Amino acid sequence: MSAATMTAPVTKPGADEGRIGLRANLRHIGALARRNALQIKQDPESMFDVLLMPIVFILLFTYVFGGAIAGKGNQQGYIQHLVPGMMAMMGMNIAMAVGTGVNEDFRKGVMDRFRTMPIARSSVLIAKIVVELGRMLIAIAILLGMGFLMGLEIRGSMLEFAAAIALCTAFGAALMWIFILLGLAVKTPQAVQGMAMIVMMPLQFGSSIYAPPTSMPGWLQSFTEVNPVSTLADAARALMNGQGAVAHPTLITLGWAVAITAVAMPLAVSKFRKKT
């Protein structure tokens, strides 16, 4: 054995992540996304939240709270207000599940195995998001299906309707990076869920998802105005109902999505590399 061979440094798999090309990175993401999808196939109960949550929530809010919020007998008008807002809510609820899943994979040792492989670290997390986006679109489809059965009308163009779905999906993808970071930062899935609920509850109920902010006290209206979830709900509502200013809330929502991703994604990937 030559001296050069004896002194050659040992390179850990994945250490040269920066040299992985775009095509190889996309191939890794596809393989990992397929692995995550197969996990869902093996555990179909993990889809219960996606399949049942939209049905339960739309029925609950329409028939329990709709009369009080919109007036008795005005459920039809409330549906037009509620469903676009609930599309925004679906993204938040599905995003929370991403953080829990990442945390569980670390506890089981799955992520440690991935980190020994010659793949980009970001591909592991992006594959998670790709599959969860699929789950989110299924939840939105079920929500819209229930909405149509209950009298929902698309009063804007089909292009605007598609834009509303795309906007909710983009914002949900951005939120997933926050919950991935949370899943990497805390020790147990229960802690992820607890902390996520503390964040989600004020954002959801202190917004225009369920009721117009005009009925809220002044201090809560001020919070609602700066709440990005309200902006997303208002943008989706304007696009689907074909009324109101569309450009301003849409651009603000896209700005939030880009800013959240730009900050949370590098932090999540860095935490993923360093987590023990």
Query: pLDDT tens digits, residue range 11-62?
Result: 344 444 456 777 778 888 888 888 888 888 888 887 888 889 999 999 988 8
- pLDDT by residue (tens digit) across 149-176? 998 999 889 999 999 999 999 999 999 9
| pLDDT of 147 strictly over 80 | yes
Long-range contacts of 267-275 (CB under 8 A, 24+ apart): 267/181, 268/125, 268/177, 268/180, 268/181, 268/184, 269/121, 269/122, 269/125, 271/181, 271/184, 271/185, 272/111, 272/115, 272/121, 272/124, 272/125, 272/184, 273/115, 273/121, 275/106, 275/111, 275/184
